[in-house]
Amino acid sequence: DQQVKQNSPSLSVQEGRISILNCDYTNSMFDYFLWYKKYPAEGPTFLISISSIKDKNEDGRFTVFLNKSAKHLSLHIVPSQPGDSAVYFCAASASGGYQKVTFGTGTKLQVIP
Amino acid sequence: ETGVTQTPRHLVMGMTNKKSLKCEQHLGHNAMYWYKQSAKKPLELMFVYSLEERVENNSVPSRFSPECPNSSHLFLHLHTLQPEDSALYLCASSQDMAAWGTDTQYFGPGTRLTVL
């Protein structure tokens, strides 16, 4: 049973527009969420995270929104750039002790010039 | 070398072979991880080591055998694998195992394994 779901396997966006990547989770114990970005032939790299005590975290062009009641988070990229084309993984964990990170299946973003 | 490195990058092996994957981190981290990524599946955590001690073994078949001789090096020894073990194997490290759910993990580029 997948506890972290990314229902859109792929997304295409025009350069300069907003990219919105979505993620849903089922485990109510999750209280820390991360986004990783992965280019082909490279390992995932950390992008941005958010704790459940917040509903928004912003870092430059990247903003993550958390809706705890809906168990939903989203990553907004504004403006999108061709270099943002990659696979984006949503991940979640429950704090307290040794809690592993659970990953989603990823969404492949293509930003069209 | 910086970050997390993995060798080899690609490996093709028969079901009766024995091979090893190597991971090295140059970040001074205390925790290291092996993940498996199969097509269209989430990353699956296989093993976690903290200060060279295994603290997680996620129901992985015994044909996968990890080894952590020191905090900078991690190996995954492979023997009598099955074709369904073909996947991308990723190594990662993080600063502090005590908070590894919230601790940023740094990944290597992975080893693409094909079992014939």
Decide if pLDDT at A101 tops 80: yes
Nearest chain B CA: its distance from A16 CA (Å):
29
On whether the CB atoms of residues B31 and B99 are closer than 8 A, the answer is no
Kindly report, residue by residue over A61-93, the tens digit of the pLDDT: 999 999 999 999 999 999 999 999 999 999 998
Closest-CA residue of A relative to B42 is A105
Q: How many CB pairs under 8 A join A and B?
A: 66
CA A10 to chain centre: 13
- Is the Cβ of A94 closer than 8 Å to some Cβ of chain B? yes
Query: What single DSSP character describes residue A97?
Result: S
In whole angstroms, how far apart are CA B47 and each of A31, B34, B73?
Answer: 23, 5, 14
d(CA B4, CA A95): 25
Kindly report, residue by residue over A9-60, the tens digit of the pLDDT: 999 999 999 999 999 999 998 999 999 999 988 899 999 999 999 999 999 9
Decide if pLDDT at B1 tops 60: no
- Is the Cβ of B51 closer than 8 Å to some Cβ of chain A? no
- Establish whether the linkage from the previous residue to B69 is cis, with ω within 30° of 0: no
For chain B, how far is it from start to end, CA to CA, in angstroms?
Answer: 32
Nearest to B109 among A2, A42, A49 (CB): A42
Query: What single DSSP character describes residue A78?
Result: S
